[in-house]
Each structure stands twice: as structure tokens, then as C-alpha cells.
Amino acid sequence: MFDVQTLIQLVVSGISVGMIYGVVAFGYQLTFATSSTLNFGQGEALMLGSLAGYTIMTQLAAHLGLPMPLAYALMLPFVLIFGMLQGAIVERLGVRQAIKTKSEAGWIMATIALGIIFKNLAENIWGRDTFPFPSPLPEEAIQVMGIRILPMEVLIVCGAIALMAAVELFNRRSIYGKAVVATSADIGAAGLMGVNTAQVITLSYALSSLTAAFAGVLVGPVTLTGASLGSALGLKAFAVAIIGGLNSGMGVVVGGVLLGITDRLTGYYISSGYQDVPGLVMLLLVLSFKPSGLFGKAKIKKV
Amino acid sequence: MRFARRTMMALVATTALTSAAFAADPIKIGLSGPFTGGSASMGVSMRDGVRLAVDEINKAGGVLGRPLLLVERDDEAKNDVGVQVAQELINKEQVVATMGYINTGVALASQRFYQEAEIPVINNVATGTAITKQFPENNYIFRMSANDVIQSGMIAEEAVKKRGFKAPAILADSTNYGQLGQKDLEAALAAMGIKPVAEEKFNIGDTDMTSQLLRAKAANADVILTYAIGPELAQIANGMGKLGWHLPMIGSWTLSMSTFIDNAGANGEGAVMPQTFIQSPTTPKRKAFIDAYQAAYKVDRIPSPISAAQGYDGTLLLAAAIKQAGSTDGAKIKAALENLNTKVEGVVTIYDHPFTATDHESITANIPVFGMVKNGRVVAENPADLEGANAVRVKAH
Amino acid sequence: MRSTVLKAAFVALLLAAPFLIASPYYIHLLATIAIFAIVALGLDVVFGYTGEVSVGHSALFGIGAYTAAMLNFHFGIGFLWALPAGMIVAAGFGALLALPALRVTGPYLAMVTLAFGTIIAILINELVPLTNGPLGIKLTRPLFFDWRPYADMLPFLKMPLPRMREAQFYFATIIALLFTLLVISRVLASRYGRAFEALRDSPIASDCMGVSVYKHKVLAFVTSAAFAGLAGVLFAYSEQYVAPNNISFDQSVTFLLAVTMGGRKSRVGPIMGAAIVVYLPNLLADIEQFRVAAAVIAVLAVVIGAIRLARGAGDRLAALVPVLLCVAFFALSQVMTTITDFKLTIYGLMILFVVYYLPDGIYGFLRNLVGKFRPEWVRPPINIDGLGRAEDAWAAAVPRSAPDQPLLAASQIVMQFGGLKALDRVDLNVMPGTVHGLIGPNGSGKSTTMNVLTGIYTPTSGSVSFDGHDITGRQPAEIAGAGIARTFQNVQLFGELTCLENIMVGLHHTYAASMAEVGLGLPGARREEQSALSRAASLLRFVGLEALANEEARNLPYGKQRVLEIARALALDPKLLLLDEPAAGLTAPDIVELMDIIRKIRAHGITMILIEHHMDVVMGVCDTVTVLDFGQKIAEGKPAEVQEDERVISAYLGTTTEIV
């Protein structure tokens, strides 16, 4: 039963799906760092990005007669903007009030509620079925040493890394990025130094949904797309964010890949029904013993 | 502001009262099916087929001088929701009979309430063999579709006898439909001396079938036999495409679902499945039905032609039974169904005494033919099956 | 008196319902509301009191349901045995859930519950031999006793079999609901309820008052789970079918909505909320009913908005927004022809509305409204007239330790945070019966020392011994139990609890009755509560706060809060009391009172360590003073000596430099 080739195949497949988890988890980390809140509806942000991208892309292809790869490329900036707007809405409606009143249960329930609303609206606009997302790259798998890799999977890995690198660069180089880092470190001091922390938080939510939307159009061509795309992914990405550490950018990448591989291996060697279990168990273990995550830094309580 | 609202409420109340006064007391028929979720295309088609029949019947004066009123409820293809729907239809809406079910599991979970209340259930689409056998005594459950014993027999015959495959892999979903169908399939294969080399399971909503397919491949399967519904079937086809390992797909009738055909695309071409009805105007009745459906619902391809056709036929039979019984009493309707005096020309077949006290299946093994997915539609695998005298096959008594 | 009559009338009405309502469907609906109410009441313990968001209660509910189903399916065990079994199994899983939840809070805890719920749903779906997987398990509702033969004598008993079955099961659920109300009311009114609120308001203070946060978190989850399990068993028999689909994230959210919409920290709130969420799908299926409901809501919103504006609410625009939203909602309901597709959107909007405008829920909103006119109806104050005396503030004479042995001996304590040494080989010996001052410039390590002594930090190296026992690195709750109490630099009172209740948390250690005894209302438990109340009243009188006994701690002026903290610490019957800057922010008269209190405490034999910046306080009450600077001890001795010490002076004022 044990076949090295199959094992490598599963690992490779796991890496690509893991990168998706990592990108979504990256979004969690962005908002948590600046505001100690996160979007429980992040999975729905991914789903909306995927569906919006699908509509824009097919409309572009149909009305302008463009070939799919070009339509896909043209669609990307629109989806990124869409993602930013969606994130800003979540922040405005769900999170801002709760931050002001320091009510934790408030933003948790509000972001959950927004996620539910988005999913239901998506079901009514795009229907409840899943449907295929046109692939910008050829659908035939390429063979590398007997391992089959879809071109799209390669794009996922490259795209995910590129996006996270871009955001990190933004944080380190631009002045807005520095404002984000300052707010993450100490929101009170940053405010006193003239940083508009409210804007920074809005920006972090916008960036967070941007990464989720981007992940949505990356993953769409590989799986089918539809209104229920987000739910399972959102929870997996949580696990990655926690395992990797909500304060560490590197952690989410490692955590994502780890989880993706574990998923695939469990699905094959044990049973596909149990696929999600190891990730969730890892999540519980990490929260039990090292809540700051494998790569995170524990915060010292000051009384 | 408050005054306007009060007036509004009064208006609403008056309209409700007056509209009730105008209508002759309608006969309430329950309709339980999945109108959302993965099985929705079947549920919606069934509903639309039933609605078409009800409209026709009402235009012709109704039954016993009263119009038929459909009370539609979405059971979401979930067993527990089906149970709640059944209780609502029986106790709150007090329906005379119920048309349903798409999903075997929902049917099996919900039917006992109707049986207890002595209200007939016409199963338009669900094919689990156990459905009509759940209550051996005084059975209130009737069926319009080809059950899984018939279908699995046909599948096994096609795969083993006709095409000579020797190493089938069965891929079935984890619902009652998939699991019970798989058992029927195993029995049919065993009768031919064949044992499946792999039997894989997956859940509704699963998108990645790689593990299951890899295990089937490791077992050197030569054909994939399926018992699942549209979206997951598409994932199987696409999964094979991704692995670059293409095997023929022969499976239960659900391979005709639009969700399978559309999502599988090129990977789904050539799949074959038993069909009681293929969307093709091979008789005047069928042409009329297809035309009426297309006009009423503004579609070209019916999402699930079998669901629509069987739903339509089921309504005709129910109406005929109520007419014959001369009352809306459940026991009397049941007796009438078991002893239908009039011949009813349906879309699938011409019904002549379709049910008896001991036989509640309207379809026998000679009626379904094999359909095949070709160019995004379902056509007859063997066109001769639908021509001439073969166009209408009646129940073998 | 009034409320007992009301309650009795309500219960009578509930029990009469099956004879008044003809349709078994509506009886079934009422039974479902009762079942959801039981879950919501249990969830309130975790969400309303402990303050944690749990989105895993659907799994606990499902575990109860599946326990009942599996017992029946595999062993033929029926309804009556299933009830306790379901509660116990679910409680066990609740304890399991609490384990990863112990060290985390807020969103992390929510994620734990989410992960837990998902794992349970998967396990139930996949363990087919045990649970029958997606196929589900069928159950038959029990018929307790056929009363139709008695219909001749009591005509209202005449009814068809289905309606009788429905009615009997309904009675079972009502009895379960009454049981739940009784037990939960008692538990929440007892020290457990206070403990749950304490660990929400200040986990650190909780631990330091001997109320272990871990233990009570587990208790809260276990209690909550037990009732979710009870409801699950009832649900399984009510629906006569269980399937893995019964467990879902959406359902967990529904339970949360029931508690938030109804009103947390109340009994009526969760019941109200349960009624709303159970009836909602019915409402949404019927467009006419829905429109009427939307109209009613819009009318209410307009009325309430008008009242607010008339009373001159501060921000007119902000008060107008919810009114406009409700009216827009009504307009939308008129336009739409079918609502069922949007059921979940409506759910989401309801949650948002509640989060924004009804943070205390509908019942909470009503209660606050009534509270403005008749506050005593809302939170009946505890009358402490004639209860307790200032002299009785002391439990018993504090056992005198040997006067020449140090009560507390801290030896070579090093506390390192990363690269920073907050404490560098500090020795501290505190003699019994003394007030030992600890002073030094800001950042010198005073509070760090206190945190090490009370177990909040584990020292990097060094040891602490108290009364002859080594307490290095022990948990704060243990150390509190050993006899060390403290106050905090930033006041850590339990804000939503009253002054009386804050002190009673400190008296937690005097109770022996278990939760079961409390739940059953046994006389022993009641006596304990009475005597604790009396002691708490005494402590309040000692510090002069008896007039504010029923005031929420967060409403007190700053000075009084500090004094309350001391009273709470004294409730622990400590041998050693640590006071962290008790005079900070106090006015001069308050400081005089404070010094008086400190002297009285010393007179009673309690040893104290006092961190202070107010030199007059230090000089006035301390017997010995230790001085820290940059984490090192630089001087020690009598106050007058230390005051003259050159090193101390230069630490505070800096050395002089020659300017040439």
C-alpha cells in the first residue's frame, strides 16, 4: 500500500492547498496585529472575492471577446479593489463600534453575523450550487518526475508568496505601513504620535479582505466555486493562524503548508471524512499549551 | 405614521379574508423536496413538473370540483429538516396527500409520520429500494421512479455483460441513497460473479476526490460505478481528469443531472446511466410536456428531466385516484391508487393499473433505457431504444 | 410576593396549554421552545456570566441527543434513563472542551469552541458503527400513560392519540425547563454565580482571592454542557430522529442569538430569546405574518425613538438610525414576496441589531427601562440593616507565628523578562505582626516583587517561603489559600458585582457546600450563604462602606474603590496582606482614614507589606522599610534610618555632579 510516488504527490498537492490557507490566515494576522480583532467571516470574504472575480472575468471575456488568461489578468485589480471595499464594510459595520466599547463578544458576533449575511446574499445572487471557474492556465497537468502538478497549483504558490511579500514590503517601506506597525505595537502611543489609528484599522481590514479575495480567485479554478466555498476554508485558516501564531508572518506560511500536507495525508491514508480532524486537533493542542502559536511571542501580563 | 400602518394591517387582513372567501375549498397537496443545495436541480424540476400538472388539472376544473393547492416546503435534502416538514404538513397544513421526495434518506426518515397519519405519499424521484418496503402492512407509500434494484441491475449488466469490465470500483456518497444503492450494486455484481476491487465513500459537499480515485487506481479498477448526486459526480470526473486517468463512468440516474454535466464539462462526456425519460419529443404527449415546460419556465434544457416528468406523472395519478375515491380520505385514496380504473397517459409511460395492494412500484425493469452524456445533453445511448414501438414501454405485469 | 404569584400563574398557564390548544403542531412548537430555552439558560452561564463566546454549544446539544439515540439503538434503553445519561455525557464533554479553553479567552476561546464543535460533528458523521453516520437514528416518543379511559370523568382528557402523545411529551419538557430554572437560579445566586462573574471582570483578582479561574471556568462549561445535554435528549425524543446535520455552526449561532436577543444574565431573557428563534422560521415561511411582525417592530421603534427624542437624548442622529432601520425593514417586507431565501440574512441582521442597539437584549432593555422608574423591582437590594458588626469583621484571632521567625522569607529572587532583569537577587524577610514597607523609584521592581510573592510570576531563580512552607512558583489561588491576600496598583474590583458581592467573593474559602447541594437548595448551603453575608456586612462596616452595599463596584468613587479592595482582601482571613500603593490618588482625609485602617489591621495581628510612594504614610505606619532600585535592594531598616540613607536619597533624587 505504501508508495513513495503517491506520498510525494499528496505532499505536493498539500503544499498548494496549504498556501491558500496561509494567505487567508495572513489576513487574520493583519487585523489582529493592529486591533486585536479578526474577521470571523474571513472565509466569506474569500468566497465573495471568488464569485466577484468569476463574474467580472466571464463578463470581460464575453463582452470584449478576450481569451481567458487575459480576462483573468484584467480581472485581478478589480477583485483586489472589491476585496478592499468589502473589508472596509466589515470594519465599519462590524468592528468599529465594538472596539470603541471594548466589547469582545460584540465584534465576534458582529463579524459572524456579517459572514452569515454575505453568504446568504451570495446564495441569492449566484445560486446555491457550485460551478466551474474558468482556468487562466491550461488544465492539463504537467509531469515532473512522475508527479502530476497542475499549472494552476504552481500559480497558487507563486501568487500567495508574491502577495504576502508585497504586503510585508508595504509594511516596512511605506509610511502607511509604518503606521500599521506602530499601531500594532502600541495603539495608544501611536495615536498620541499623530497616527490616525482608526484609519489604520480600517486599512488593515481592507488589506485582510484583499488577501482573502485574491486567495478566492487563486483557488477558484482548482476547486469549483460557489456560495459555500468559504466556510470550511475559514476554519482551516483559523487553525493555521493560531498554529503559526497570530503575530508572525512567517508562521502562517509554515503553518499553512503543514496543515495542507496533513490534510492530504489523512485523507488518503485514513479516510477523507476525517480530513479536517488533525488540523483542528492541532489547533486545540496549540491553544492548550502555547496559545501564542509555534512562532509567536508570548505576551507578559502586567498587573 | 402609526395610522398608516394600522390601515395597512387592516387592508392586509381584509384581502386575506376575501381571497379565502372567493376560492372554493381547495384540496391541499403537500410537496416536499430540496429546492436548495446540491439536490436542488432535481427538487426544482420535480416541483415545476408537479406545478405544470396542477395548473393543467385546475384549468380543466380541478378534482371533484375543487382546485388543487400545492403546499411546498424545502426539505434541503436533509433528513432532519424533512422530518420537521412532514410534521408541519401533516399537523399544521393538514394535507390530503404529499408528493415528494428526491432524497432516499429524507424519504426514509419522514415517511413514517405519513404512514402513522394514514396519508398517502407519492415518491416521484427517490429510488432507494427500501422506500416502498418500509411498511409491509397497509403501506401508504407509492413510487413513480425506477428503484435501485432495477437501476443497479442495469448498471451491472451494462458494465459486466455488455462492456466486459471485470474490475469495477464503486464510488458512493455517504447518504442513505449512496450507501443503500451501493449495497444493491454489490448484490447485482455478485449475481454475476464479480466483486468490486474498491469501494470508496465521500460526503456531500466534498470537493476533492483525489484520495478515493488514487485508491481505486492502486486497485487497478477498469470502470467507475457511481451512486451519488451531481456536484460530487462532477468532482469525480474532474478528479480523473486531473490525474490524467480516465475511466468510463457508469452509474445511477443522477449522472443526468445538469450539475454533473455542466461542472464536469469534457470530463463527463460519455457517462451512461438508466433513464426513465430522456428529453426528446418522441411522442405527442412528450412533445406537449417539453414544450409546456420550456414555455412556462423559460429554459431549453430541463435541469432534471426525469424529476420533472415523474413529478408530472405522479400528480396525474394522484388526481385520478382522488377522483375515483370521490373523497379526500387517505385510506380511500390509497385504495383507489391500488386499483386505478382509468388509464392515465403520462410522460414516462401509459399507466394501466400501475399499483396493486402489494406492488407500489409504477416502473418495472423494462421501462428505463440507457442515457448517455453527449455534447452537454443527455441522449439515448442507443437511439433505437426510443424509436418506433420502443418509444413507449409499459409496465410489465 | 408579587413575583411568586406571577410565576405560579405563568406555570399554571404553561401546564394548561395542551388542553387549550387543539393542534399538536403548536404544542410541538411550545415543547421545542422549552428545549431551546434550556440550552439558552445553560449558555447564559458561559456567555452571560463568564463572558465567553461559545460557538460550540450545538455540539454539546447534539451529544445529548446522540447519547439518547445510541442508548436506545444499541441497548434499548429508554427516555427516563437517557435523561441523566445525556446530562452526564454532555457534562463530560463540556469538561473536555474546557481544557484547551482554560488558558485562553476571547476570540481564542471562541475558536476553541468552534474547533470542538466541528470535530464532534465530523466524529459523529464518520463513526458509523457507533452512530449510524449520516443515516441517522430513529427514536419513538414514549407514551407515559394513556389517560383516555378517564375522559368520562374529566372531559378535557378526551383527545386523539397523536395529540395525547404530543401533550405528554410537552409536560416532560416543561418539567425539565422548571428544573433547569430552579437549579440555575440557585447556582447563579450562590457563590458560583459570583465566581463566574468575577473571572470575567478580573481573572487576576479572582485567582488572588482564592477563586481559581481554571476551576470555575471548567465548572461553568460543565454546568452549561449538562443542560445542553438535557435539552439534546429531549430534542431527540421530540423529533424522533437524530442526524449529524443536527450539529452545525448555524445552530450554535442560533443559540447565541437566543441569549443575546433575549437578554443575558437573566432567566426570562433566554426563554424570550428561545421563543423568538424557534418561532422565526415559521414567521419567515409565512409572508403575511412576517409583514405584520415587521410592522409591529417598526411601530415599536418609532414609539421608543419618539420617547427618547422627547426626553432629549444626546445625539439625535444616533437615536434616529435604529428607527429608520426598522422602518426600512418594514418597507422591505412589503416589497418582498418570499422571505425564506433570506432567512439567514434576517438572522444576521438581527444579530447586528442586537449587538449595536440592544446589548442587554430585549428583556435587558425592558429591565433597564423599568429600572429607571422602579429600581427595586429590577435588582432587589439585599438589606443588611442589623446584619454584621464592624467588630465581627475578623473571623478569629490570627494565630501568632513565632515572633523571631520571618513569616515570609524571599531569598535571592531573580525575575528576568527577556533581557531585562526586573529583580536582581532580592532578599526580603518580613517579621510577623509588622508592617513592612517596600519603596523605591518607579520601575524599581516593587510590583514585580508583589507579583512574584502572590504567584502571578514564577521567579527565574530564587525561592519564597511562607510560614515555613515553600511557595515558589505556586498558583495564585493556592497562595491565597495559604493565607496571603493583596490589593492591586490598578484597582481590580469585580465591576459588575456590588460591594457586598465583591467581598463575598473573598469569602469563597469559607464555603463547603458543593454545587449539587447549592442546586438542590439544601439548608446547609443556605446557612453558609447567610453567615457569609453577615461577615461581608461586618467587613463593609469596618471600612465604612455599608451605605454602598448594593452599589455596583464600578460606580464607586476611586478612593472608596481602593478601600473596598482592602475589605475584600481581608475577607480571605490572611496572615499576610500585601497592599500595592493603597494611597495612590487618595485625598488627604482619605489617607488619614487609610492609615487608621492599616493600624487596626496590624492591631489584629495581620502582617502587612506596603508598597507606597506617599512618604508620610510609609513613615507613619511602617516598622521596617526595604528600598529597591533597578531591581536591587539598596537599603533596609527602620523608616527614620532609611530616610537618611545616602544611597536612598540619590536613588530618588539622583547624584549631584560637579559642574566645572
Contact residues on chain C for B2, CB-CB shorter than 8 A? 299, 302
Cα angle A103, A107, A108; round to 5: 110
Q: Which of B212, B242, B263 sits opposite A224 (nearest CB)?
A: B263
List the single best residue of A7, A123, A129 to mutate versus B (max B Cβ within 10 A).
A129
Q: What is the mean pLDDT of residues C293-298?
A: 88
What's chain A look like in SS3? CCCHHHHHHHHHHHHHHHHHHHHHHHHHHHHHHHHCCCCCCHHHHHHHHHHHHHHHHHHHHHHHCCCHHHHHHHHHHHHHHHHHHHHHHHHHHHHHHHHHCCCHHHHHHHHHHHHHHHHHHHHHHHCCCCECCCCCCCCCCEEECCEEECHHHHHHHHHHHHHHHHHHHHHHHCHHHHHHHHHHHCHHHHHHCCCCHHHHHHHHHHHHHHHHHHHHHHHCCCCCECCCCHHHHHHHHHHHHHHHCCCCHHHHHHHHHHHHHHHHHHHHHCCHHHCCHHHHHHHHHHHHHCCCCCCCCCCCCCC
Which residue ranges in chain A fall short of pLDDT 50? Answer: none
* pLDDT above 90 as % of chain B: 61
How far, CA to CA in Å, does C375 sit from each of A78, C360, C488, C550, C574? 56, 16, 32, 12, 36
Are C56 and C117 in contact, with CB atoms under 8 Å apart?
Answer: yes
- Chain B positions touching A3 (Cβ under 8 A) are 218
Pairwise CA distance, residues A233 & B355, whole Å: 49
The radius of gyration computed from the CA coordinates of chain C, to the nearest angstrom, equals: 30
- Kindly list the residues from chain A whose CB atom is less than 8 angstroms away from the CB atom of residue B263: 130-132, 224
Q: Quick check: is C314 in a domain?
A: no
- The answer to whether the CB atoms of A128 and B201 lie below 8 A apart is no
- Answer with the one of C278, C300, C322 that is the final residue of a domain: C278
Give the gap in angstroms from C-alpha C273 to the nearest C-alpha of chain B. Answer: 21
**Hey, what's the cell of B63?**
378534482
Rounded to the nearest angstrom, the minimum Cα separation between B176 and chain C is 6
Q: B36: nearest CA in chain A?
A: A128
Q: For residue B259, give the nearest of A129, A141, A268 by CB distance.
A: A129
Please tell me which chains touch B, using 3 or more CB pairs under 8 Å as the contact test. Answer: A, C
pLDDT for the residue C375 = 67
| Residue among C115, C204, C249 minimizing CB distance to A303 | C204
Whole-number Å distance between alpha carbons of B203 and C468: 63
Indicate yes or no: CB of C135 within 8 angstroms of CB of B203.
no
- Residue showing cell 410536456: B289
Structural domain includes residue C147? no
The whole domain housing C271 covers 27-141+161-278
> Which domain-ending residue is among C233, C249, C278?
C278
Q: Do A283 and C115 touch (CB under 8 A)?
A: yes
Q: Which of B78, B84, B174 sits opposite C133 (nearest CB)?
A: B174
Q: How far apart are CA B79 and CA B74, in angstroms?
A: 12
- How is C466-533 classified by DSSP, letter by letter? ETTEE-TT--HHHHHHHTEEE--SS----TTSBHHHHHHHHGGGG----HHHHHHT-HHHHHHHHHHH
- C342 part of contact set with chain A, CB < 8 Å: yes
CB within 8 Å of B107: residues ≥ 6 apart: B82, B100, B101, B121, B123, B126, B128, B131
Residue C631 lies in a domain: yes
> What is this structure's pTM?
0.87
**What is the tally of structural domains in chain C?**
2
Contact flag A6-B218 (C-beta cutoff 8 Å): yes
Other CB atoms within 10 Å distance of the CB of residue B49: 30
Q: C: neighbours with 3+ CB pairs under 8 Å?
A: A, B
Please, which residues bridge with residue C437 across strands?
C610, C625
Same domain? For C205 and C68 the reply is yes
Domains of chain A are 4-289 (1.10.3470)
C350, part of any domain: no
Length of chain C: 660
Domains of chain B (ranges plus CATH)? 24-146+282-363 (3.40.50.2300), 149-275+370-391 (3.40.50.2300)
Buried b / exposed e across C371-400, counting CB within 10 Å, b at 16+? Answer: eeeeeeeeeeeeebeebbebeebbeeebee
pLDDT digit string (tens) for C417-430?
Answer: 888 889 999 999 99
Listed ranges C171-175, C340-344, C356-360; the one with the highest mean pLDDT: C171-175
Taking alpha carbons only, the member of B245, B251, B235, B246 closest to residue B202 is: B235
pLDDT digits (tens, 9 = 90+) for C557-573: 988 999 999 999 999 98
Q: Are residues C396 and C274 part of one domain?
A: no
| Contact list, B235 vs chain A (CB under 8 Å) | 224
pLDDT at C272 > cutoff 60: yes
Q: Which residues of A touch B261 (CB under 8 A)?
A: none
Question: Min CA distance, C154 vs chain B (Å)?
Answer: 25
Instruction: Express each pLDDT in C645-654 by its tens digit.
Output: 888 888 876 6
Mean pLDDT value across residues C58-78: 94
Reduce the secondary structure of C94-113 to three states and give it as a string. Answer: HHHHHHHHCCCCCHHHHHHH
Question: Contact, A43 vs A115, CB < 8 A?
Answer: yes
Amino acid, res. C542: F
Mean pLDDT of all residues in chain C? 87
Taking CA–CA distances from A38, the nearest residue in chain C reads: C107
Q: Which three cell numbers, joined as nine digits, stand for B59?
A: 384549468
List, for residues C443-453, the tens digit of each pLDDT value: 888 989 999 99
| pLDDT at position C285 over 80 | no
Q: What digits encode the pLDDT tens for the residues C97-124? A: 888 887 888 888 888 898 999 999 989 9
| H or E stretch covering C651 | helix C646-653
Question: Which pLDDT belongs to residue B8?
Answer: 46
- Residue C408 maps to which CATH number? 3.40.50.300
Q: Is C10 on the interface with B (CB under 8 A)?
A: no
A48 half-sphere exposure, CB direction, 13 A CA radius: 28
What letter would DSSP give residue C46? I
Cβ of C53 within 8 Å of Cβ of A276? The answer is no
CB atoms B78 and C291 under 8 Å: no
Average pLDDT for runs of 10 along chain B of length 397 = 48 45 76 86 93 94 92 88 89 91 91 92 92 90 93 94 94 90 94 93 82 90 93 91 89 91 90 91 91 92 92 95 92 93 91 91 91 91 82 81
**Last residue of some domain: C239, C255, C278?**
C278
Contact with chain A for residue C118, Cβ under 8 A: yes
Task: Measure the CA–CA gap between C577 and B113, rounded to whole angstroms.
Answer: 69
The answer for C 127-186 residues in CB contact with A (under 8 A) is none
> Does residue C233 have a pLDDT over 90?
yes
